[in-house]
Amino acid sequence: MPKQVPIVLTGFGNVGRAFLKLAREKHAFVRERYGLDLKIVAAFRSTGGAMLDDDPGAATFAASPELKLETLPTWTPGLRLVDVLDGSLLGVLAETTPSNLKTGEPGLGYMRAALNRGWNIAAASKGALSVNFAGLMEIARRQGLSIKFSGATAASLPTLDVATISLSGAEILGIDGILTGTTNHILGRLEEGLTFDAALREAQILGIAEPDPSMDIDGWDTACKLQLIVNAALGMGLTLGDLAVQGIRDVTPESQRAARAEGKILKLIGRMTRDGDHFRASVAPVAIEASHPLYRVHGTNKGIAFFTDTMGTVVVTGGKSDPRGTAASMLKDIINIYR
């Protein structure tokens, strides 16, 4: 008998829609392979929510993700998450609202409400975890629940799973990560001779960069991912303010050429170094040598290298950088919560 896993989705943008579509597509596969019957019971926008499970239009709806939540007969303006999490159901909150790195909202309120009502969490959003990592983990610990956040820590690129499972028993002495595909793509185009403005414009036209690209190009997206990885992997309580952060706005084709002349390449590196009990985390463009494990991470690819005491250097690269890849990382987290 498959285990029923109710899922409530907050945020219905690129990732939320991709998650709904993927969960429906993979439903039979996940039931057969993992014995889990995933059911997305409700989805929320900022203006309200809709129940999906009992809605006769829901199957058609999932196959046509361009449709709006408001077109469903169950759409209820003003419906709140707490109206749905009434204690009679227990499952997973799939959190995909915008990442606000200052307040953590709306994800923070949603995640607290879900944990306090006995729901696990699979998050793609970074804001809540960045602002109140320790607080959320403490509620989860008290309640015996899981918070997973692969979607917030480079998504399809396995970072947390490697750090917290594969490297168990090893000391992580350092981390280098190329954690943002957008900036890696732009730096690659600068190396080919494009100016920063032209490379950014091109990335926006291709849909690789956001209309407001500042989170990525000023280094905050990488910083936030590094913060969460370090906190989860090393049991730290880093805040975003603890990181020295520099983005890529000042990188030019000339600086890439100068690096190349020395056999190096400029990459935006999220770096954690450790000197005994003293930790330092930073984000900056760094000229890395051909022998560096991330030297050949090109285009929108990402990569992470863990430097350990007993396992040597462990490197992971690749992974899809798009909403479907992010949705797939959330699906992985949900499967791993219950398997």
Ligand X SMILES: NC(=O)c1ccc[n+]([C@@H]2O[C@H](COP(=O)([O-])OP(=O)(O)OC[C@H]3O[C@@H](n4cnc5c(N)ncnc54)[C@H](OP(=O)(O)O)[C@@H]3O)[C@@H](O)[C@H]2O)c1
Judged by CB under 6 A, does residue 13 bind ligand X? yes
> Would you count residue 182 as binding ligand X (CB under 6 A)?
no
Closest chain position to ligand X (CB)? 13
Report yes or no: 85 and 117 within 8 Å, Cβ to Cβ: yes
Q: Which stretch binds ligand X (CB under 6 A): 41-49, 165-173, 197-205, 255-263?
A: 41-49
Instruction: Return the residues of window 91-110 that contact ligand X according to CB under 6 A.
Output: 96-99, 106
Per CB under 6 A, the segment of 11-19, 31-39, 158-166, 225-233 that binds ligand X is 11-19
Q: Which stretch binds ligand X (CB under 6 A): 118-126, 198-206, 269-277, 305-313?
A: 118-126
The Cα 218–Cα 233 span in angstroms is 25
Q: Give the one residue of 44, 75, 119, 133 binding ligand X; rule: CB under 6 A.
A: 44
Strands 244-245 and 264-275: unpaired
**Nearest distance from C-beta of residue 176 to ligand X, angstroms:** 20
Radius of gyration (Cα) for the chain, nearest Å? 20
Distance CA 110, CA 129 (A): 12
Query: According to the binding rule CB under 6 A, does residue 180 interact with ligand X?
Result: no
Per CB under 6 A, does 322 bind ligand X?
Answer: yes
Span from 172-180, 225-233, 293-301, 321-329 in contact with ligand X (CB under 6 A): 321-329
Gap between the Cα atoms of 27 and 55, Å rounded: 17
Encoded one letter per residue, x for contact with ligand X by CB under 6 A and - for no contact, window 283-302 reads --------------------
Q: Is 45 in the site for ligand X (CB under 6 A)?
A: yes
71 touching ligand X, by CB under 6 A: no
Q: Measured from the CB of residue 293, what is the shortest distance to ligand X in angstroms?
A: 23
Closer residue to ligand X, CB minimum distance, 215 or 266: 215
Active site residue 21: no
219 lines the binding site for ligand X (CB under 6 A): no
| Partners of 95 in the β-ladder | 10, 123
Set 126, 225, 302, 332: catalytic member: 225
Q: What are phi and psi of 271, to 5 degrees?
A: -130, 135
Nearer to ligand X, 211 or 241 (CB): 211
Q: Which amino acid is present at 206? A: L
If the CB atoms of residues 17 and 292 are measured against ligand X, the closer one turns out to be 17
Separation of alpha carbons 167 and 144, rounded Å: 23
Is 155 near ligand X (CB under 6 A)? Answer: yes
Tokens of 274: 């450790």
Q: Is 15 in the site for ligand X (CB under 6 A)?
A: yes
Considering beta carbons, is residue 292 or 320 the nearer one to ligand X? 320
Closest approach of ligand X to the CB of residue 263, in Å: 33
What's the CA dihedral at 195, 201, 203, 208 to 10 degrees?
A: 150
Rounded least distance, CB 177 to ligand X, Å: 14
Q: How far apart are CA 127 and CA 98, in angstroms?
A: 8
SS3 49: strand
111 neighbors 93 (Cβ within 8 angstroms): yes
Measured distance between the N- and C-terminal CA atoms of the chain, rounded to whole angstroms: 14
Q: Strand order in 303-308's β-sheet?
A: 244-245, 278-289, 264-275, 172-178, 303-308, 313-317
With CA atoms as reference, report the closest residue to 54 among 89, 18, 87: 89
Q: Binding to ligand X by residue 156, rule CB under 6 A? A: no
Cα 74 to its chain centre, rounded Å, is: 30
Q: What's the token pair of residue 129?
A: 């975890």
Q: Which residues bind ligand X (CB under 6 A)?
A: 10-16, 44-47, 96-99, 106, 124-126, 151-152, 155, 322-323, 326
Q: Give the residue numbers marked as catalytic.
A: 225
